[in-house]
Amino acid sequence: MSNALKRLLDLMPKAPEFIGTITSEDHPNYKVLVVDGSGLVLCSSNSKYSVGDRVVVSENEIKRSAPTGAVVQIEV
């Protein structure tokens, strides 16, 4: 039987994820304005996005599109 705590920790992301809005596009390089106010981040992606799209960013890579709505920060 495997350790339940280890399985729970394996579900959590290893790097923090942030939500931001694309402000500049030059595929595969994008500039993303992060919602938490930390500023612009230069990111890359294999998928094509447009200016104004909301995306999830982790380790300077766009992971996926972000849902619309309010952003809430949860401290763990």
Q: What is the pLDDT of residues 51-64, one digit of tens each?
A: 999 999 999 999 99
pLDDT for the residue 76: 73
Q: Does residue 1 have a pLDDT over 70?
A: no
Model pLDDT, residue 66 = 92
Q: What is the mean pLDDT of residues 9-25?
A: 88
Query: Coil, strand, or helix at residue 9?
Result: helix
Closest-CA residue to 59 (of 13, 23, 25): 13
Closest CA to 44 of 66, 22, 17: 22
Identify the pLDDT of residue 74.
77
State pLDDT tens for residues 29-75. 999 999 877 889 999 999 999 999 999 999 999 999 998 888 777 77
